[in-house]
Amino acid sequence: MENRTLGIIGGTGWLGRAIAEALLESGFIKPDHLLISNRSGVSTFEPGVKLLADNQQLVDLSDIVVLSIRPEQFRELLINARGKLVISLMAGVPAAAISAATGADVVVRAMPNAAVEIRQSFTPWYGVGNLVELDRQWVQRLFECVGSADEVPDEDCIDYLSALSGTGPAFPAMLQMALTNQAVAAGIPLAIAQRAAQGVVVGGGQMLASRDPRQMIESLMAYRGVTAAALRSMADQNIEAIVGRAVQAGAEIARKGM
């Protein structure tokens, strides 16, 4: 299983590059079993990792092919991947469209997020076609090299989770900006507002790595003071519905196809 060659089309991009680096660092893939392709010919990988200009050559030399290009770039991609396991990271491109365009009978759709950079992505994935147990385990282990991963029960979960977890740092970044901007509007100096908001998002996020969010909220609400007033205001304005609509808006784009 470890001797299979993995080819990453778009392996010098944001996701592809971080995943490739993690696979090499963890020893999951040896440099001579990793192939990368892009259009520009620019790569900063160690010399053992082959950079190819020809996507079909990458496919022919690979057992497993990862598509880590943007959906609009996929429309121009011409490859025949019949007989290969194709793993797509693309948002909003259905497995059926990938099969039709590449000839691959077995397609895995996976949805990591930008936290692959720090090996803390959550990656849901779903296989279409006859994905054998060995490949299933391989895919799971591959994405565990960049964080945690789960096989999900159907392809629609991928479209929904593209908006929920594929967006990665986007929601926390939005919260951090809102906290900063509102603090500045309330008269707090900008640098202090920025540090305070970052402390909330980063420090709070790190605590939640090992704590249950409901218990955390209940513990802080028990003071019946500042936190309770702030959170009650959010609940009164139905924060869950706002979050739900935001995720649905993203999921609709993924379902509609890009």
Ligand X SMILES: NC(=O)C1=CN([C@@H]2O[C@H](COP(=O)(O)OP(=O)(O)OC[C@H]3O[C@@H](n4cnc5c(N)ncnc54)[C@H](OP(=O)(O)O)[C@@H]3O)[C@@H](O)[C@H]2O)C=CC1
Ligand Y SMILES: O=C(O)[C@@H]1CCC=N1
Residues that bind ligand X (CB under 6 A): 9-10, 12-16, 37-40, 55, 68-71, 73, 76-77, 89-91, 111-114, 166, 168
Site for ligand Y in 165-194 (CB under 6 A): 166-167
Q: Which residues contact 229 (CB under 8 A, 6 or more apart)?
A: none
How buried is residue 52: exposed, middle or buried, by Cβ count under 10 Å (0-12/13-18/19+)? buried
Which C-beta is closer to ligand Y: that of 88 or that of 167?
167
d(CA 1, CA 158): 26
Which C-beta is closer to ligand Y: that of 38 or that of 113?
113
Judged by CB under 6 A, which stretch of 162-170, 183-191, 212-220, 236-244 contacts ligand Y?
162-170
CA 164, 149, 115, 177 torsion: positive or negative?
A: positive
89 binds, among ligand Y, ligand X, none (CB under 5 to 8 A by kind): ligand X
Contact 251, 163 (CB under 8 A): yes
132 binds, among ligand X, ligand Y, none (CB under 5 to 8 A by kind): none
255 binds, among ligand Y, ligand X, none (CB under 5 to 8 A by kind): none
Q: How far is the CB of 154 from ligand X (least distance, A)?
A: 19
Q: How far is the CB of 116 from ligand X (least distance, A)?
A: 8
CA 127, 130, 135, 137 torsion: positive or negative?
A: positive
| Residue 91 interacting with ligand Y (CB under 6 A) | yes
Which C-beta is closer to ligand Y: that of 7 or that of 13?
13
d(CA 146, CA 149): 9
Q: How far is the CB of 197 from ligand X (least distance, A)?
A: 22
90 binds, among ligand Y, ligand X, none (CB under 5 to 8 A by kind): ligand X
Q: How far is the CB of 173 from ligand Y (least distance, A)?
A: 12
Q: How far is the CB of 8 from ligand X (least distance, A)?
A: 9
Which residue in the shown chain puts its C-beta closest to ligand X?
13
Judged by the rule CB under 6 A, the positions of this chain that interact with ligand Y are 91, 162, 166-167
